[in-house]
Structure 1
Amino acid sequence: MNRPGNTSASTSVFGSVHLGYLVVETERFADWRRFGGDAIGMHRDDLSRDVTRFRLDDQECRFLLRRGPAEDVVATGWHIDGHTAFERIEARIRAHGVPLQEGTAEEAALRGVERLLRFPGPKGITQEIYTTPVRSAEPLRMLSSGFVTGEAGMGHVAITSTRPARLRGYFDTVFDARLTDRIDETISGVKLKIRFLRVNERHHSIAVAAVRGLPIDPVRTRVQHLNIQTATLDDLARSYQRVHELGFDMALSVGQHTNDKELSYYARTPSGFEWEVGWNPVVVDESTWEPSTHQGISIWGHTPMGRTIVDKLGQFRLAARSLARVEDTVPAIGGNGVPED
Structure 2
Amino acid sequence: MALKALGYVAIETAKPEEWDTFLTQFVGAMRAPDAADGAALYRVDDRVFRIRVATGTREWFVAAGYEVSDRAALDALADKVAKAGRAVTWASAEMATARGAEALFATSDPAGNGLEFYCGDARTAEPFVSPIGVPAFVTGVFGMGHAVLSAPNFDETVAFHCDVLGFHQTDMPRFNLFGPDGPSMGFAFLHADNGRHHSIAFGEGPVPPSGAVHIMLELPDLTEVGKAHDRMKRFGYVESATLGRHANDETIGFYVQTPGGFDLEIGCDSKVIDPATWVTTRHESISVWGHEWGWQKAMKAQGEQA
Q: TM-score, normalised by structure 2?
A: 0.88
Contact conserved, 2:244 with 2:254, CA < 8 A, in 1? Answer: yes
In the TM superposition, what are the counterparts of 1:30-41 in structure 2 within 5 Å? 30-41=17-28
The 2-side partners of 1:132 and 1:269 are apart by: 29
Shift in Å, 1:305:
4.4
Shift in Å, 1:46:
5.8
The 1-side partners of 2:276 and 2:219 are apart by: 27
One-letter amino acid matched to 2:203: A
Match in the other structure for 2:203: 209
Change (3 A) 1:240 1:102: same
One-letter amino acid matched to 1:221: S
Contact conserved, 2:152 with 2:207, CA < 8 A, in 1? Answer: no
Match in the other structure for 1:92: 80
Shift in Å, 1:288:
4.3
Q: Secondary structure of 1:139's match? A: coil
The 2-side partners of 1:100 and 1:159 are apart by: 20
Shift in Å, 1:296:
1.5
Contact conserved, 1:17 with 1:175, CA < 8 A, in 2? Answer: no
Change (3 A) 1:121 1:182: closer
- Of 207, 223, 232, which residue of structure 2 is paired with 1:243? 232
The 1-side partners of 2:263 and 2:138 are apart by: 19
Q: What do residues 143-200 of structure 1 show as CA deviations (whole Å, max 9, x unaligned)?
A: 3211111222211111122111111111113322211112332233443221211112
Match in the other structure for 1:199: 192
The 1-side partners of 2:67 and 2:203 are apart by: 24
Q: Secondary structure of 1:240's match? A: helix
Are 1:16 and 2:3 counterparts?
Answer: yes
Match in the other structure for 1:81: 69
Contact conserved, 2:257 with 2:263, CA < 8 A, in 1? Answer: yes
- Of 162, 174, 178, which residue of structure 1 is paired with 2:152? 162
In the TM superposition, what are the counterparts of 1:76-225 in structure 2 within 5 Å? 76-142=64-130, 143-189=133-179, 190=182, 191-200=184-193, 201-210=195-204, 216-217=205-206, 219-225=208-214
Change (3 A) 1:23 1:286: closer
One-letter amino acid matched to 2:162: D
Shift in Å, 1:50:
4.9
Contact conserved, 1:175 with 1:199, CA < 8 A, in 2? Answer: no
Q: Secondary structure of 2:244's match? A: strand
Contact conserved, 2:62 with 2:114, CA < 8 A, in 1? Answer: yes
RMSD over aligned CA atoms reads 2.4
Q: What do residues 250-298 of structure 1 show as CA deviations (whole Å, max 9, x unaligned)?
A: 1111100011111111000011001001211111124543222212100
Identity of aligned residues (%): 27
One-letter amino acid matched to 1:169: A
One-letter amino acid matched to 1:166: E
Structure 2 residue runs of 5 or longer lacking an equivalent are: none
Equivalent pairs counted in the alignment come to: 294
Contact conserved, 1:64 with 1:110, CA < 8 A, in 2? Answer: no
Match in the other structure for 2:42: 54
Match in the other structure for 1:26: 13
Shift in Å, 1:133:
1.8
Are 1:277 and 2:266 counterparts?
Answer: yes
Contact conserved, 1:124 with 1:222, CA < 8 A, in 2? Answer: no
The 1-side partners of 2:44 and 2:160 are apart by: 28
Q: TM-score, normalised by structure 1?
A: 0.79
Structure 1 residue runs of 5 or longer lacking an equivalent are: 1-12, 211-215, 313-341
Shift in Å, 1:217:
2.7
Match in the other structure for 1:326: none
Shift in Å, 1:236:
1.4
In the TM superposition, what are the counterparts of 1:220-231 in structure 2 within 5 Å? 220-231=209-220
Q: Secondary structure of 1:294's match? A: coil
The 2-side partners of 1:259 and 1:229 are apart by: 15
The 1-side partners of 2:73 and 2:140 are apart by: 18
Moved more, 110-119 or 240-249: 110-119
The 2-side partners of 1:18 and 1:171 are apart by: 14
